[in-house]
Each structure stands twice: as structure tokens, then as C-alpha cells.
Amino acid sequence: MRKLIQLVWKKVQKGQSCAEIADALEEEEAYIERLVTAVGHYASEYNEDAIYEELSGNADRL
């Protein structure tokens, strides 16, 4: 999951939409939307560990 977080972060920084990211990574758009939301919580400072922890705590909702 950490690699996916890194990839989503980079694509968000490039201004790509959830649909574009999902298409590029061949993932479900709803799943990418949840990742983008989690990444957005740390927009001012990239913190992969915090993002991972947030997503791990919500694993049943992903």
C-alpha cells in the first residue's frame, strides 16, 4: 500500500484527477478517491507514515 500512496501523492501533486489516477494505476476510482482524501489531509507536509496509519485504521472502509 505504501507504494500506491507514493504514486497517488505524486499524481495529486501534478494536478491529476481521481479518474485520471485510477485509470493510470488501474485501480477502482472509489478506492483512489479514498486515497486522495487521506493524502489531502497531509497536503502541507507529505507524511507517508501518517497517511498509511490513517488508511490502515480505515482498512475496512477501503
- Find where cell 478517491 sits: 33
What per-residue confidence (pLDDT) applies to 46?
Answer: 72
Indicate yes or no: pTM above 0.85.
Answer: no
DSSP 8-state secondary structure symbol assigned to residue 45: S
Sorting pLDDT into bands at 50, 70 and 90, what band is 39? confident
Encode pLDDT of 12-23 as tens digits: 989 999 999 999
What per-residue confidence (pLDDT) applies to 62?
Answer: 45
Query: Sign of dihedral through CA atoms 22, 24, 12, 42?
Result: positive
User: For the domain with range 2-61, which CATH number is right: 2.40.50, 3.10.450, 1.10.3470, 1.10.10?
Assistant: 1.10.10
Domain assignments of the chain as residue spans, ordered by start? 2-61
- pLDDT over 90 (residue 51): no
Q: Following CA atoms 13, 18, 23, 24 in sequence, which dihedral angle do they give, to the nearest 10 degrees?
A: 10
What per-residue confidence (pLDDT) applies to 58?
Answer: 60
